[in-house]
């Protein structure tokens, strides 16, 4: 099972992972980013994780892929959102008896048509629902929930009054364009600490510049702890938080999956498509429509407004009010969109 495009995307494959576990499959995972590999390693259903250097040394990825062919897998499943044809090619090289993936059209569809299996139509709605439909096509037992699958070993008891903050995201394909400005996160942390809350300021491997600055920016501020740890250790610290604020990024989705009351800040990406599943609240006050195309190779401000939707329209005082509401709320109730319009390869689809 390829999980090649980020931690948040790996979590959205949860219906398939849960269904495979209930159906007693043994699962090998192909991973690219380190976070995905750490996540997959921690799941009981996963037998082995194979790292593919597709970004750094793509030619060297051929050897492990061809080695996997000798295992004669029954099924290879490519979850949403692996929209590029290269992902279909990687999945086909595994050589499984059948291939299940979404119908992206073009070269991806042509590659998939060379193998037995099934192409599943995209119907929009929340991203996790695309993988629910893929799991249904495989006739997997989905149980009663479509929640994120999170390792039990990553969970700890909550500590009331603790706020987690993460100013980053992955940087691949320009994902940093989704980020609320780092300086606002610093201000938010200072305000919350001033109100007597304990703040955990998380910094991951993609926030090297921020890590160089945060120690000085938060120097002398009581009740703020900077956390730079492995994903598993950071997840355990995260699970102790009562509330969390972050960008539309994998760590934010992990917070919601851990049951932390989570505020996700959205700009160019769709809050309908990507609200963190579980205890997540999406905040996107901009009147500028979400413009990210899920089939494109990068992130671009379509109207050339310098990413106003996240940089200016998400105001600090509004986020502070949202955080206060999170702490006041006993629970977060969600109603995920089942299907609807979305943008792919320059076209609005539904």
The CATH number of residue 16's host domain is: 3.40.50.2000
Question: What's the pLDDT tens digit per position in 192-221?
Answer: 999 999 999 999 999 999 999 999 999 999
In a domain, 308, yes or no: yes
* Same domain, residue pair 188 and 132: no
pLDDT, tens digit, for every residue of 76-109?
999 999 999 999 999 999 999 999 999 999 999 9
Identify which has the larger pLDDT, 344 or 164.
164
| Domain identity same for 211 and 338 | yes
Q: Average of pLDDT values for 44-49?
A: 95
Same domain as 308, residue 181: yes
* 261 three-class SS: strand
Dig out the tokens for 314 from the structure: 């998400």
Number of domains forming the structure of the chain: 2
Confidence of residue 304 (pLDDT cuts 50, 70, 90): confident
Give residues with Cβ within 8 angstroms of 138, minimum separation 6: 16, 19, 75, 77, 100, 118
Q: 158 and 84 share a domain?
A: no
Query: Does 270 lie in the same domain as 157?
Result: yes
Q: Would you say residue 145 lies in a domain?
A: no
Q: How far is CA 290 from CA 152, 287, 299, 343, 346, in A?
A: 34, 9, 12, 10, 13
> For the whole model, what pTM was predicted?
0.96
Choose one of 111, 137, 163: the last residue of a domain: 137
Mark whether 197 and 232 lie in a shared domain: yes
Q: Are residues 188 and 247 in the same domain?
A: yes
Residue 295: domain span: 153-344
């Amino acid at each position: 099972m390829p999980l090649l495009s980020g931690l948040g995307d790996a979590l959205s494959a949860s219906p398939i992972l849960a269904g495979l576990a209930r159906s007693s499959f043994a699962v090998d995972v192909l991973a690219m980013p380190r976070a995905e590999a750490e996540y997959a390693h921690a799941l009981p259903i996963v037998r082995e994780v194979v790292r593919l250097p597709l970004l750094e040394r793509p030619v060297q990825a051929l050897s492990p892929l061809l080695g996997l062919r000798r295992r004669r897998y029954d099924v290879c499943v490519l979850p949403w959102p692996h929209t590029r044809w290269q992902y279909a090619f990687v999945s086909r090289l595994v050589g499984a008896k059948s291939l299940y993936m979404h119908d992206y059209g073009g070269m991806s569809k042509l590659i998939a048509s060379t193998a037995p299996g099934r192409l599943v139509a995209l119907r929009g709605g929340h991203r996790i629902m695309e993988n629910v439909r893929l799991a249904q096509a495989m006739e997997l037992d989905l149980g009663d929930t479509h929640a994120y699958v999170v390792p039990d070993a990553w969970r700890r008891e909550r500590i009331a009054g603790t706020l987690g903050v993460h100013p980053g995201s992955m940087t691949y394909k320009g994902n940093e364009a989704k980020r609320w400005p780092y300086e606002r996160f610093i201000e938010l942390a200072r305000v919350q600490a001033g109100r007597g809350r304990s703040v955990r300021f998380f910094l991951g491997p993609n926030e090297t510049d921020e890590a160089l600055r945060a120690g000085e920016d938060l120097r002398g501020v009581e009740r703020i702890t900077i956390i730079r740890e492995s994903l598993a250790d950071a997840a355990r610290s995260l699970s102790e938080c009562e509330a969390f604020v972050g960008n539309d990024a994998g760590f934010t989705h992990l917070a919601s999956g851990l049951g932390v009351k989570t505020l996700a800040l959205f700009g160019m990406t769709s809050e309908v498509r990507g609200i963190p599943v579980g205890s997540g609240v999406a905040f996107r006050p901009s009147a500028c429509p979400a413009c990210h195309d899920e089939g494109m190779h990068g992130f671009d401000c379509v109207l050339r407004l310098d990413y106003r939707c996240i940089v200016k329209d998400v105001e600090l005082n509004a986020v502070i009010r949202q955080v206060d509401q999170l702490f006041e709320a006993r629970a977060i109730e969600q109603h995920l969109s089942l299907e609807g319009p979305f943008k792919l390869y320059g076209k609005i689809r539904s």
